[in-house]
Structure 1
Amino acid sequence: MNLRHIHLLLTLHVCFSNAATSESYEETLQLTPLPDGKVSARFAFKTLASTNIEENQDSDDRPQHYKLFPLALGQLLRAQSISELHLSLNAGKWDYDKWGYPIDQSVASGAELWVWMSESSSNGTSVDQRWKDLSNGLAGLFCASLGALDETRTTKPQWAFGPEGDLLSSRSYHLRHAFLPSESVCTENLTPFLKLLPCKGKSGLSSLLNPHPLFGSNWHGIGVHVRPLAHESMELTMTFGAVLDPVRLSRGKRDWNFDDIFGRPIGRACPVASRSLIKVVLPAHAAYQIAPEPTTVDKDGATYDLTMLSFPLTIGMSWPQEERFQHSIASPSNPLSARRIITGGSQSRGDILFHFINNQNVSQDVVCVETAPWFVNYFLNTRRVVVNGIDREDIILETAYTLPRNHQPSLLETVLRLPAHSVTEMSMSFLKSFIAYTQHPPDAERGWDLPAAAISFTLTDSHPQEPARRLYTRNLLIDLPTPDFSMPYNVIIMSSTVIALFFGSVFNLLTRRFVWVKTRATDIVRD
């Protein structure tokens, strides 16, 4: 078989693949200068396949043919009958007060996984078993500790985390949600992430994903989102976000370019991308310069089309009138902000406080989702709600509380109606359980991680089809009653010392021979 025959076979294979499954791939990079001098970079790699994610889930006989959609992920979703999946791995703390609301809402530190899965499956396994198999499969696919998302961390929220795709009305679905706040993000997660992309990080926007500058940013995260769409199609969106600090890199100025914040330019465009765009949000009240000349400029900012530019490509923005960047103390006012703290220094009891600020002219309904490990028990009878210094229990519309049983986490969902221009505080007490010394982690003195609370809400001016927004509080540490782990080591050291001295003395007496040594008179030295 010569090269001509091989080329013909490859052409026929591509033609049949295109006929079987129509897929498209596009990539977008959005760069947003922030008020504190930092730059938010958000990569989005979107793959659209004509094959429905729920097509023939009741049968494993139908083969799967993908051209651009990652086969490893598609096989896992089909094997576990997953209809919609959302996975995020984040490190750092997203500052809502300085950076505003992010495009990707799942920005809590650690790992978060929530899925909608069909009640029936081809292999006849239960929903809980398929959830376990899915977390283990994703752990191997992304080289993360997602296998720890077992029944001790899994919850079933009722009013938050609604489906973002077009689920079939003829099927029954179940929601599973889990947090792993101690999980971090590193190069081991970025490498398999790049392997799932069509260009593998060799060309296009994915070539800018350089681990060294990205993992040194103030916040960075990986996201994988799969959802079904109408007309029997599915959408995969793989995202990578980072908040970079050019002021720290340039020692005082907020000027940036690709060589500074990413460490490299774009060498060439991704050949399989139908659209490859770079969007730069332009400042509204500052004199700036951007180079090279954008392809288009509109009210949303400057847009670069990689299909119309020359390579290597590096984009930069500078503020020529600024000799040194002066950070403004004033921060953007978000419509809604929330934070959470723990008070009390006791190792057996404590109080948790939620702080909500509604800056809108109308009231705002929010759903507060609080997930706690099984050793934290909330007392709802101690819950108190204060609005602008006045007790207001009437703003609580709904409450759902799942008790922590059989080492399963507790789930507290509260629906609140926050008045306009109000400061609301909700507090309650909780009890810390005693756990066995074998259940403590190796770094027991550090404390236990309490996952971030999710605040779900829908703004009054949002689009009717827009999904509910979510903002997350920061992770917290709980100090549990911890035994003195140093005592066993002291006992071991002392026992080992006594045994060594006893054994050495006895062994010395049993093996040494005591004999008389005769000496000559000349060997005695006299003074």
Structure 2
Amino acid sequence: MISLYNVEELYLSLTRGKWKDRLWGYPPIDSPPGAELWAWFLPQASDVDEDWRGLLHALSGLLCSSFDAIDSTTTFIPKTSFKPTGAFIGNISSSRLRYTALPREPVCTENLTPWSKLLPCGQKVGLGSLYYALKLYDTNYHSISLKIVPSCQDDSCSSVGTAVTLSLSVVFKLPSGKTWSLSSLFGRHIEKKCPLSSSSFIYFDKYLHKDINLYPEPHFIENKQFLSSNVELSVYELNNLKSDIKVSLKNKNYSQVMPHPPSPLSIQRYLTGSGHGRGGIVTIISNNDDESLKVSFLDMVPWFFRILYHTLTCELTINNNNNNKINCEETNNTILFKEFSPAKDRVLPYKMEYIFFIPPHSSISLYVEFLRGFLKWNEYPPDASLGFFINSAVLTSNVYKCANCTVSTMENRSSFLLRIHSDPLLVSLPIPDFSMPYNVICFVSTVIAIGFGSLFNLTTRELLPVNEEEEEKKGVLVRIINKLKQLFLRKD
């Protein structure tokens, strides 16, 4: 599939639930609710759009998803928010990048099963044996992802291969007791490692959770330099693991055991207005760090929400003081880049991209108004009364310290590429009365039946005069027989 459609890099995620940055810290891999997909194509791809359509249909069949429903109205070409992460070949040109998201996409076992089959040993042994759908779909959050990137085979990168990474992120509900185990969380015992793997490890990050005891004792401790912090990881080698791993708390108070430092970067998004006419979108980007941050912002809106760009305002709040607000355009270095792409009905969506330079302990507020458009009756989804989603906004930045980031066991870097998503917005649109065709058909059919019956009787019945004198001459028996004949003739 990768070679057939000239794909160089691919990232795909299917997520149910919203990751709560303020409660859980930053996720290992941030993904918006629903489905998200972006892909970089090779320079020799003659028709990127054609390869993109073929890739969507292939992934739709591979993972039982709705990617085949994506068209040009839900496809974006970002310029600043997504960069290649692998051994990229050729010049970096955004014309080779395609991005899409489906906030409405449901995620269920029909997605988990084909995804788990991509593992070398499936769900039989190794960590794949923990993938039990009844437990995974009874959690506060879960996300499956597939990442395919070119990878250097040696230090000089003279030979380039392909690295495939499958990830599962889960946030379980808090257990009732002070002790729990992997089997109690996942509903299954972990089996031996996959025979095809060269190594299989389980890492416990106790950087912020010192009051946690592990049993049995870790096989060894691994120290990592993550940004400006030294991180200690407890490591279990799966091949030498003889019993289930149990976790116990020294303190029953979870808020004391698991503190959550403030997030250096956050984003909030909400709607304003009421009714089915005019509305507004407010986006607040906050830098809670002690250092200035360079932030890339991407916002995508469907074509049937008529964005009024002349209403767009940008305000910088310095030191989080509401009395100290200035227009972003009045400063020299707050907006480093901006681009607006208007929509085209039933062809292209709206796109808005910014690069901001946000001072420490400051925030940027974006506000823009929109008009709700009208759709054709056959363009509404089956659950039109639910409303229509506006994709999550994407925020990307390089951070140099992050106390509540999940540590990668494979990377030692001085900076960390942080990508977070806002909540998707659910907007109601004017919807037609879908029962009207049924009501009209019933009404018209009734009128036609009544009118046709009367007209038919008038045109087919023969009215004959009755001679009363001749009737009186007939006997009573003859008159009764005639009445019965007339009655039976009417029934026939």
After TM superposition, is the score higher than 0.5?
A: yes
2: CA distance, partners of 1:197 / 1:285? 31
Tell me the percent identity. Answer: 34
| Equivalent position to 1:175, from 97, 102, 109 | 97
Counterpart of 2:61, as a letter, is: G
Residues 246 and 260 of structure 1 are in contact (CA less than 8 Å); yes or no, is this contact kept in structure 2? no
1: CA distance, partners of 2:15 / 2:326? 37
State the Cα distance separating 1:500 from its structure 2 match. Answer: 6.7
1:436-475 pair list within 5 angstroms: 436-461=376-401, 468-475=417-424
CA separation of 1:319/1:110 partners in 2, compared to 1, >3 Å: closer, same or farther?
A: same
Aligned to 1:82: 7
1: CA distance, partners of 2:297 / 2:207? 34
| Equivalent position to 1:365, from 284, 294, 315 | 294
Aligned to 1:207: 129
Unaligned 5+ residue runs, structure 2?
223-230, 403-411, 461-480, 486-492
Please state whether the residue corresponding to 1:246 is helix, strand or coil. Answer: coil
Please state whether the residue corresponding to 1:441 is helix, strand or coil. Answer: coil
Residues 160 and 369 of structure 1 are in contact (CA less than 8 Å); yes or no, is this contact kept in structure 2? yes
2: CA distance, partners of 1:282 / 1:507? 89
2: CA distance, partners of 1:464 / 1:380? 40
1:114-513 pair list within 5 angstroms: 114-121=38-45, 125-169=46-90, 174-230=96-152, 231=157, 232-247=160-175, 250=176, 253=177, 255-282=179-206, 284=208, 287-298=211-222, 299-310=231-242, 313-319=243-249, 321-322=251-252, 331-386=260-315, 387=317, 388-389=321-322, 390-393=325-328, 394=331, 395-407=334-346, 408-461=348-401, 468-496=417-445
Counterpart of 1:241, as a letter, is: S
Please state whether the residue corresponding to 2:27 is helix, strand or coil. Answer: coil
Please state whether the residue corresponding to 1:168 is helix, strand or coil. Answer: coil
State the Cα distance separating 1:317 from its structure 2 match. Answer: 0.8
The number of residue pairs the alignment matches comes to 430
Of structures 1 and 2, the larger Rg is shown by 2
Find runs of 4+ consecutive structure 1 residues off by over 6 angstroms: 170-173, 326-330, 462-465, 500-510
Residues 112 and 180 of structure 1 are in contact (CA less than 8 Å); yes or no, is this contact kept in structure 2? yes
Residues 208 and 258 of structure 2 are in contact (CA less than 8 Å); yes or no, is this contact kept in structure 1? no
Aligned to 2:464: none
Please state whether the residue corresponding to 1:302 is helix, strand or coil. Answer: strand
2: CA distance, partners of 1:170 / 1:478? 39
Please state whether the residue corresponding to 2:44 is helix, strand or coil. Answer: coil
Q: TM-score w.r.t. structure 2 length? A: 0.80
Residues 340 and 353 of structure 2 are in contact (CA less than 8 Å); yes or no, is this contact kept in structure 1? yes
* RMSD (CA atoms): 2.9
Q: TM-score w.r.t. structure 1 length? A: 0.75
2: CA distance, partners of 1:175 / 1:283? 37
State the Cα distance separating 1:382 from its structure 2 match. Answer: 1.5
Counterpart of 1:276, as a letter, is: S
Residues 125 and 193 of structure 2 are in contact (CA less than 8 Å); yes or no, is this contact kept in structure 1? yes
Please state whether the residue corresponding to 2:235 is helix, strand or coil. Answer: strand
Residues 246 and 256 of structure 1 are in contact (CA less than 8 Å); yes or no, is this contact kept in structure 2? no
State the Cα distance separating 1:283 from its structure 2 match. Answer: 6.5
Please state whether the residue corresponding to 2:22 is helix, strand or coil. Answer: helix
Please state whether the residue corresponding to 1:256 is helix, strand or coil. Answer: strand
Please state whether the residue corresponding to 1:300 is helix, strand or coil. Answer: strand
1: CA distance, partners of 2:180 / 2:420? 29
2: CA distance, partners of 1:214 / 1:254? 21
State the Cα distance separating 1:507 from its structure 2 match. Answer: 11
1: CA distance, partners of 2:66 / 2:217? 44
Unaligned 5+ residue runs, structure 1?
1-75, 519-527
2: CA distance, partners of 1:256 / 1:77? 41
Counterpart of 2:19, as a letter, is: W
Please state whether the residue corresponding to 2:200 is helix, strand or coil. Answer: strand
